[in-house]
Amino acid sequence: NAGVTQTPKFQVLKTGQSMTLQCAQDMNHNSMYWYRQDPGMGLRLIYYSASEGTTDKGEVPNGYNVSRLNKREFSLRLESAAPSQTSVYFCASFGIEQFFGPGTRLTVL
Amino acid sequence: ILNVEQSPQSLHVQEGDSTNFTCSFPSSNFYALHWYRWETAKSPEALFVMTLNGDEKKKGRISATLNTKEGYSYLYIKGSQPEDSATYLCASSNYGQNFVFGPGTRLSVLP
């Protein structure tokens, strides 16, 4: 089992560019999450999907959109990137425990 | 939105010392309390999940307790080792499976 995979691992964008972060899990979990991690802020929930076909806002959803493509995949889209979105992004899935992907380090110039 | 707090923010102990951290969380709409270990440049790894008041979990030298009535959980490390150095996160989840994380306690174990 690969667990939770994320692509890309690193990305540099210019202000105003768009991109999609991909996440997939092979543990047959219903729930999937997107977090961002900033220095001194811990992990903050952006969006989550408690089951296929549903998505809900977390603590910091502004500037992001998500798509739960199927049970395995949950993508995060930045439509117009801003420097404030420079962060490390983690995807996670939850069954009994929450498993995290390796993270995507995004820099917006 | 839930507000989860952890103390202390950071901690330095000597190898062999025992230590403990605190996580406090609102009791309303509570479903479960989760502890994670997060090493630098890696992803958080789940340590424990607890749901019932009075729950106690143990994994090797690490254990945790839960008090849902007063809204706190303790994580204990017995005989700290340098490899225990990491940030320890707690998170509270509700019935809607919304997770809120605390800011973490950064532990450094000095040899």
Interface of B with A (CB under 8 A): 1, 34, 36, 43-46, 49, 89, 91, 96-104
Under an 8 A CB cutoff, do A99 and B89 touch?
no
> How many Å is the Cα radius of gyration of chain A?
13
Strands B105-110 and B10-14: parallel
Please give the Cα distance from A66 to A23 (Å, whole number): 11
Q: Are B57 and B64 in contact (CB under 8 A)?
A: yes
Whether A31 has a pLDDT exceeding 80, the answer reads: yes
Compare all CA atoms of chain A with the CA of B103 and give the residue at the minimum distance: A42
Comparison of pLDDT for A97 and A108, the residue scoring more: A108
Q: Which of B49, B96, B104 sits opposite A96 (nearest CB)?
A: B49
Q: What pLDDT is stored for residue B108 in this prediction?
A: 97
* Mean per-residue pLDDT of chain A: 95
Per-residue pLDDT of chain B (111 residues; tens, 9 = 90+): 458 999 999 999 999 999 999 999 998 889 999 999 999 889 999 999 999 999 999 999 999 999 999 999 999 999 999 999 999 999 999 887 889 999 999 999 999
Q: Are A58 and A84 in contact (CB under 8 A)?
A: no
Q: What pLDDT is stored for residue B2 in this prediction?
A: 56
Please give the Cα distance from A32 to A4 (Å, whole number): 10
Under an 8 A CB cutoff, do A94 and B100 touch?
no
Closest CA to A98 of B75, B46, B93: B46
Please give the Cα distance from B77 to B61 (Å, whole number): 6
Q: What pLDDT is stored for residue A40 in this prediction?
A: 77
Give the amino acid at B85. Answer: S
User: Cβ contacts (< 8 Å) between B45 and chain A: which residues?
Assistant: 100
Instruction: Report the 10 Å Cβ neighbour count for B14.
Output: 10
DSSP B17: -
Interface test with B, best of A32, A37, A43 (most B CBs within 10 A): A43
Across the range A18-38, mean pLDDT stands at 96
Under an 8 A CB cutoff, do A45 and B100 touch?
yes
Q: What pLDDT is stored for residue B41 in this prediction?
A: 86
Instruction: Report the 10 Å Cβ neighbour count for A3.
Output: 14
Q: What pLDDT is stored for residue B1 in this prediction?
A: 43
Whether A1 has a pLDDT exceeding 80, the answer reads: no
